[in-house]
Amino acid sequence: MSEKGKRGYIGGISGFKAIAALMVLFYHLKAPFAQGGLLGVTVFFVTSGYLITGGLLREIRRNGKTDFLSFWKKRIVRIYPALIAMIVITVLIFAAFRRVLFTKEIKDIFSVLTGWNNWHQIFSNVSYFENAGAPSPLTHCWSLAIEMQFYLIISLLFVFFGRMENHKGILGIICSVTALISMILMIVLFDPSKDPSRVYYGTDTRIFSLMAGSLLALYETDLKKLKIPSFLTSLTGLLSLAGLMYMMVMISGYSSFMFKGGQIIATVLSVLVIYALLDQESIFSKIMGIFPLSETGKRSYAVYLWHYPFVLLFTNGEKATLLSAVIVIILTALMTLCSELFVEIPFASGFFKKAFTAAKVKSAKAQARRKRMRGRAFGMMGTYVALIAAAVLCTVFVPRENALANQEELEKQAETAAEMTEQKMKERQEAAEKAKEAEETAANEAQEVTETEAPSETPAAKSDEEICSELDVLLIGDSVSLGASEQFYTVFPNSICDAAVSRYTTESYTIYDIYRYEHGWNGDAVIFALGANGMLYDSLETMREKAGEGRPLFLMSARAPHTDWADTNNEEMAAFAKDNPDTYIIDWYGYSEGHPEYFVEDDTHLTPEGAKAYTECIKQALLEHFR
């Protein structure tokens, strides 16, 4: 490896980080070619683990120890100026133009600045309806929090073990054991019937990617001794990058595969890519280090910080149009450069210290230059203070605004719907008992039918209303269905609407079993209306199997534009209905297209008019089958 590589900068790694940053950006824009783009964060974790550990090892070689305070001074200067600038600017923007997102952002500021935002997102007790709509503009800072926690862990490990003669071996064992435990925790703790946030955001379940990067840095010298031919490392890197790109393009970031080994595979592939890039004379490393990629990669931190707030500002968390995507990309690039020129470089270079440090200046030209430097420093500091003060005033005085103006009404609606379903089950049970008694009475009083009796007439065709009133359908739904439950019972009085807030897709078959085997339900059809609240995982296959051959299963497409999974779920449901008999689509997504009046502020839950449309959509699909 060249001396340049030994000093820590490798252009190819910057290019790799650029690809990761761009895939994360396109993922948040909901680009169809980046459904697994969040794996870019995994790439960041691996590269950070490698670069930070490599830097600490070089310090050990130079000084024989790790200077903990110096390490953290450098980290703070690298992290906080750009981070604070992003928070200040976005607070001002969202206070002016997106009051709901402003309200969500200010709740996250403290956890972001103190480096525990990932745990804040896991444990924050925010009600389902309060959390509706687009997420907080600081949601993406969860990964920064994990990196900051890793910096603390790895720097302390070097402080305690760095002076030992066999420090690499000891640190290697610790990093290996930590990574192994972390991988096991991700696999074991993932439960498709629950919110995956605990596993996705947890430091304990994600730190294996950072530790993998650390292990590469620890054993880099030993790997070099293998003297693997350059063409073979290039081929390894190219194939590993191709595998990563395939995962980023083709596999959903929240699929069960990602939690059951996908993240581990992505981590291993990232390590192999970085290993290939260490040979800076290889073709692969030179290609990855070309000017546009390497320059973007150098600024990947700022790109990551700035892109997400702009995505929310111009898309409100929905799928980006071509125009909004172009605007987001341009503004991200612009603010990245502004951040670098007016915030990051001045702090990293010690500009303010130089400007205000007393120094003997002899020539008039040098005195004029020092005066200009101080004037510029005063101007920049004045701008910083004014912007920070404005942001603080916004957090104190700008009124808060929730995503749903009728939050209390929706919560009350949920309680009412649950009571209605409970009452409906009691009525059905009572009716079943009476019917059983009537059958027994009729059997006892039955008389032989005489031959002289007139033949029965052909029954008249039933009206749509009669068909609907006689249908016995079990609807298993989430909070969207809750909003239409009263209307549903009006149209389908003999059916059941079991819907609940924050219900996950994989809860469907447990609910079905309760009705089928505990309540004795044996009706005409099942409606699966859970696509808005999480990934489908294996719920469709399980529900189809439980419903049994011959019983229609209706899959209701979802309209939930602020989620990461609704579009994927709709595609999966359509494909499943096509490939499985007795399975049909109720196309709520298509039916509601172009009807904003159907939805409240979060573009997902229903207005009274939307509840009627939702029920009418169900009615049309059922009538098409049962007529």
Q: What is the pLDDT of residue 3?
A: 37
Q: What is the pLDDT of residue 460?
A: 65
CB-count burial class (<10 Å; 0-12, 13-18, 19+) for 517: exposed
Mean pLDDT within 257-275: 97
Confidence of residue 165 (pLDDT cuts 50, 70, 90): confident
* pLDDT above 70: percentage of residues in the chain: 90
Q: What is the pLDDT of residue 1?
A: 35
Q: What is the pLDDT of residue 5?
A: 39
d(CA 28, CA 248) in angstroms, rounded, equals: 13
Q: Which residue has the higher pLDDT, 460 or 336?
A: 336
Q: What is the pLDDT of residue 2?
A: 37
Mean pLDDT within 468-475: 94
Mean pLDDT within 148-162: 96
Q: What is the pLDDT of residue 227?
A: 84
Amino acid identity of residue 348, one-letter, is A
Amino acid identity of residue 93, one-letter, is I
CATH architecture of the domain covering 407-434+463-626: 3-Layer(aba) Sandwich (3.40)
Residues 30-78 pLDDT 10s: 999 999 999 999 999 999 999 999 999 999 999 999 999 999 999 999 9
Which ranges in the chain are annotated with CATH 3.40.50.1110?
A: 407-434+463-626
Residues 516-545 pLDDT 10s: 998 889 999 999 999 888 889 989 999 999
Confidence of residue 361 (pLDDT cuts 50, 70, 90): low
Residues 449-458 pLDDT 10s: 444 455 555 5
Q: Which of these, 88, 87, 79, 102, lies nearest to 389 by C-alpha position?
A: 88
Q: What is the pLDDT of residue 354?
A: 84
C-beta of residue 302 within 8 angstroms of C-beta of residue 336: yes
Q: Produce one character per residue of 169-196: b if its CB has 16 or more CB atoms within 10 Å, e if not.
A: eebbebbbebbeebbebbeeebebeeeb
d(CA 309, CA 303) in angstroms, rounded, equals: 11
Q: Whole-model pTM above 0.85?
A: yes
d(CA 48, CA 211) in angstroms, rounded, equals: 9
Q: Which residue has the higher pLDDT, 314 or 364?
A: 314
Which two tokens mark 13?
A: 């790694």
Residue 312 pLDDT > 60: yes
Q: What is the pLDDT of residue 4?
A: 41
DSSP string, 267-295: HHHHHHHHHHHT-TTSHHHHHHT-HHHHH
Residues 101-148 pLDDT 10s: 999 999 999 999 999 999 999 998 665 666 677 889 999 999 999 999
Question: Sign of the CA dihedral 312, 317, 321, 322?
Answer: positive
H or E element that contains 241: helix 230-250
d(CA 467, CA 570) in angstroms, rounded, equals: 28
DSSP string, 495-522: SEEEE-TT--GGGHHHHHHIIIIIS---
Q: Which of these, 308, 323, 19, lies nearest to 139 by C-alpha position?
A: 308
Q: What is the pLDDT of residue 297?
A: 95
Q: What is the pLDDT of residue 130?
A: 62
Confidence of residue 431 (pLDDT cuts 50, 70, 90): low
Residue 616 pLDDT > 90: yes
